[in-house]
């Protein structure tokens, strides 16, 4: 199966490679947005009745319009069915994720400036967060941990999980992860209707303040629609990996790393940057062999065929090309990875060295695997404790400080045509 090859020394490389990257970065279709908009409007107008109707239609699950619960579906009971080895692995991962994110909590700060003002800021957690957990292909308990644990570390008290349960089945590992991470409410609903219920409330489900977690195109569209009424984390796109590798690697290792993201989704993207065409050919051969063995080969082969690429380039050019891609994940598997990494400005997460497969980061390094995709690493960061905190500025102004600032503030207020602003200052100076 042929993938696209590029040579950084080609005269039209930048133009051709940029055009290639744009192939999968188009927004969702108008039909999806229109359908999601209708669902959101219905839920906003009719609450739990609309959620129950859509859940029966799409998931074949009967939920009570008032409680949004389904008979025989209990989070704790489902968690008990999680196999012991999986429980132990999730508990191990959760411990590392908790430890990593505990260090991200920022400190409040105050200082007194030369004019005598006491200035600063303080951090407070969001009151209520909704966690969307996909069903089907992307029903991943690791994502529950990655979304819920930072929220708990930030001090969020109410953490509401929604997850579709097609046919009345909830993944026991997802249930265990939710319990382990401290989810406080669970509703077995999904799709755009679940996003709308989180945003506006439905039945006993009270509206939340922010919605996080990945989903399909309808979920992504619904998050766009409700943004502003509630906060959202990001609009997640298909998974991505860029691997920078030299010939000192085992080609099979690099091939497996590339396929670790290709198997996620038919639109996932895997890109190899190599300084040796001979080595790149060996990686491609290893990948072709591995593709035939994967249980996920249908998705992986589609992604490999349509969106995978090889770029032959000198290692000193690799950072610049990575910045052009702005990938979700980048592995730098070279003899001196820091030399390249120091110039990488746009990437969701960087993995350094030959023993740093991205798959470890998906589960157990502790760093968050919810990362910007589709080039959003140019302006966005991965999920963290900061996403669940608000920063409030604090200003204590004594009389002498007021006197030091009043002239400039009053002048600016008058220049902007805002007399009440000016009056609130002049009245304190005896000029009102």
109 is catalytic: no
- Using CA atoms of 281, 284, 289, 294 in order, give the dihedral in degrees to the nearest 10: 170
- Using CA atoms of 73, 75, 78, 82 in order, give the dihedral in degrees to the nearest 10: 160
Give the residue from 162, 236, 150, 151 showing the smallest Cα distance to 196: 162
What does the pLDDT read at residue 138?
63
Give the residue from 248, 251, 272 showing the smallest Cα distance to 331: 272
Task: Report residue 135's pLDDT band, with 50, 70 and 90 as the boundaries.
Answer: confident
Phi and psi angles of residue 66, each rounded to the nearest 5 degrees, phi first: -90, -45
What does the pLDDT read at residue 2?
80
Residue extent(s) of CATH 3.40.50.1980 domains in the chain:
4-24+238-365, 30-107+125-232
> How many angstroms separate the Cα of 142 from the Cα of each of 92, 138, 298?
11, 10, 23
Strands 118-125 and 389-396: antiparallel
From the candidates 329, 331, 346, 369, which is the catalytic residue?
329
Given a cut of 60, whether residue 363 has pLDDT beyond it is yes
Mean pLDDT of 185-190: 97
415: enclosing H helix or E strand: helix 399-415
Task: Report residue 34's pLDDT band, with 50, 70 and 90 as the boundaries.
Answer: very high
Q: Helix 141-154 to helix 84-102 angle, to the nearest 10 degrees?
A: 30
pLDDT in tens, 274-306: 999 999 999 999 999 999 999 999 999 999 999
> How many angstroms separate the Cα of 1 from the Cα of each of 5, 239, 284, 291?
12, 20, 9, 10
* Angstrom distance (rounded) from CA 229 to CA 209: 8
* Angstrom distance (rounded) from CA 7 to CA 313: 6
Task: Report residue 159's pLDDT band, with 50, 70 and 90 as the boundaries.
Answer: very high
Give the residue from 248, 250, 279, 271 showing the smallest Cα distance to 331: 271
4-24+238-365: CATH, from 3.40.50.1980, 3.30.70.360, 3.10.450.50, 3.40.50.300: 3.40.50.1980
Return the SS3 of 266.
coil
Percent share of the chain, pLDDT over 70: 98
Phi and psi angles of residue 395, each rounded to the nearest 5 degrees, phi first: -140, 110
User: The whole model's pTM is what?
Assistant: 0.93
Q: Which CATH architecture does the domain made up of 30-107+125-232 adopt?
A: 3-Layer(aba) Sandwich (3.40)
Given a cut of 80, whether residue 28 has pLDDT beyond it is no
Average pLDDT over the chain reads 95
Mean pLDDT of 113-117: 97
Mean pLDDT of 174-199: 97
244: enclosing H helix or E strand: strand 240-245
61 Rama class: left (phi>0) / alpha (psi -120 to 50) / beta: beta
* Angstrom distance (rounded) from CA 210 to CA 32: 22
Eight-state DSSP code of residue 26? P
Given a cut of 80, whether residue 432 has pLDDT beyond it is no
Residue with tokens 């992986």: 300
Q: Which two tokens stand for residue 346?
A: 């746009």
- Tell me how long the chain is: 432
| Sheet containing strand 389-396, strands side by side | 109-112, 118-125, 389-396
Cβ neighbour number for residue 309 with a 10 Å cutoff: 18
328 is catalytic: yes
From the candidates 185, 328, 331, 358, which is the catalytic residue?
328
DSSP codes, 96-150: HHHHHHHTTPPPPEEEE-TTS-EEEEEEEE-SEEEEE---GGG--HHHHHHHHHH
What does the pLDDT read at residue 235?
85
């Amino acid at each position: 199966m042929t993938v696209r090859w590029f040579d950084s020394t080609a005269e039209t490389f930048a133009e051709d490679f940029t055009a290639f990257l744009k192939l999968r970065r188009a927004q969702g279709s108008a039909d999806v947005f229109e359908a999601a908009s209708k669902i959101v409007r219905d839920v906003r107008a009719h609450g739990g009745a609309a959620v129950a109707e859509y859940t029966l239609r799409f998931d074949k699950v009967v939920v009570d319009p008032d409680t949004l619960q389904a008979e025989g579906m209990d989070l704790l009971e489902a968690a008990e069915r999680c196999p012991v080895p999986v429980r132990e692995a999730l508990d191990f991962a959760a411990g590392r994720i908790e430890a990593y994110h505990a260090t991200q909590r920022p400190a409040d700060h105050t200082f007194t400036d030369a004019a005598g003002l006491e200035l600063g800021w303080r951090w407070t957690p969001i009151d209520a967060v909704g966690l969307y957990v996909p069903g089907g292909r992307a029903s991943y308990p690791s994502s529950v941990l990655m979304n819920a644990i930072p929220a708990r570390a930030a001090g969020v008290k109410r953490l509401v999980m929604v997850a579709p349960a097609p046919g009345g089945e909830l993944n026991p590992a997802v249930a265990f992860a939710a319990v382990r991470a401290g989810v406080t409410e669970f509703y077995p609903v999904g799709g755009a209707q679940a996003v709308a219920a989180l945003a506006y409330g439905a039945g006993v489900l009270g509206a939340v303040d922010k919605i996080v977690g990945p989903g399909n195109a309808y979920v992504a569209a619904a998050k766009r629609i409700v943004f502003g009424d509630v906060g959202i984390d990001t609009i997640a796109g298909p998974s991505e990996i860029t691997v920078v590798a030299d010939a000192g690697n085992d080609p099979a290792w690099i091939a497996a790393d590339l396929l670790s993201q290709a198997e996620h989704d038919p639109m996932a993207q895997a890109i190899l940057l190599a300084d040796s065409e001979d080595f790149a050919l060996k990686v491609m051969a290893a990948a072709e062999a591995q593709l035939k063995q994967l249980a996920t080969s249908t998705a992986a082969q589609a992604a490999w065929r349509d969106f995978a690429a090889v770029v032959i380039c000198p290692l000193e050019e690799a950072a610049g090309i990575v910045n052009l891609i702005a990938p979700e994940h980048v592995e730098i598997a070279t003899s001196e990875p820091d030399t390249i990494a120091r110039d990488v400005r746009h990437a969701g997460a960087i993995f350094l060295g030959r023993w740093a497969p991205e798959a470890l980061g998906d589960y157990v390094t502790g760093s968050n695997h919810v990362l910007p995709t589709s080039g959003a690493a140019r302006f966005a960061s991965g999920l963290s404790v900061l996403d669940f905190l608000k920063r409030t500025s604090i200003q204590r102004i004594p009389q002498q400080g007021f006197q030091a600032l009043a002239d400039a503030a009053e002048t600016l207020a008058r220049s902007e045509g805002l007399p009440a602003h000016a009056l609130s200052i002049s009245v304190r100076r005896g000029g009102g």
